[in-house]
Amino acid sequence: MTFVEQTRAAFRAGDTDTVARLSTVELDRARAAGDVAAEVEALGMLARVAARHGELAELHRLALRAEEVARAGGEPRLLLTPAHLLAGWARLSGDLPAAREFYARSIALNESLGQPRMVVVEQHNLGHIELRAGEIDRARRCFTQAHRATVELGITDLLPYVTLDAAVLADHDGDQLRAAGLLGRAEGLLAAAGQVFDPDDALEQTALRERLVAALGVEVFERARDA
């Protein structure tokens, strides 16, 4: 496995200690070798660890450093990781206008570089920003586009995320029983893969569960989730 494959698998499994250890070693190697692309990816993984730990200032610092290194490298593709991380930082910080701008920029960059999977990821992320901002129609469009592309492109690892999107929308529409069932499906898909949600989506997961328990009560929620 490559460094990116190994660390992203560990990160999705919730093993941040392994991610931090491997990324620190890779960062030192990349800097010594003058490997700009590897340095950007190592900084990106360390930024993800900071996000998982709720260290938003460190996430921002590392994302900005990754962007600086990427710009110095002179290749547009190097900006993909920093663009995604800066959008995530804005989202986790609650800065909806900045998050919307960063996600739109990331979508445009990924489209221009032929990265359909990341376009789907960022559409999913942008949908949550629009929902929080009260732009329900925009959120539906983002979620619908993300779900359609996930199915059409066969991106199975994103199915838990677009299922979470559907659960959040069902809750917004007042169908808490359906929302609970969809949340259970999303969590089941992740558990079967031995994964956990990314930090920003984990917040959506927790907030949705709390809303549903408050609306339905613990017993009804658990029955609907496990149905």
Whole-structure pTM value? 0.94
Q: What is the pLDDT of residue 62?
A: 98
What whole-number percentage of the chain has pLDDT above 70? 100
Which pLDDT does position 227 carry in this prediction?
86
Whether the pLDDT of residue 140 is over 90: the answer is yes
DSSP label at residue 77: G
Mark 159-169 as b/e (b = at least 16 C-beta within 10 Å): bbbbbbbbbbb
Q: What confidence score (pLDDT) does residue 107 get?
A: 97
Position 208 pLDDT exceeds 90: yes
In angstroms, the CA 87 to CA 81 distance is 10
The mean pLDDT value for 100-109 works out to: 96
Answer yes or no: is pLDDT of 1 > 90.
no
Q: What is the mean pLDDT of residues 182-193?
A: 97
Report percent pLDDT > 90 for the chain.
99
The arithmetic mean of pLDDT across residues 82-111, rounded, is: 97
Residue with tokens 């927790």: 206
What average pLDDT does range 171-184 have in this prediction? 98
Please write down the HEC assignment for all residues of 124-191.
HHHHHHHHHCCCHHHHHHHHHHHHHHHHHHCCHHHHHHHHHHHHHHHHHCCCHHHHHHHHHHHHHHHH
Task: Say how far residue 46 (Cα) sits from the centre of its chain.
Answer: 15
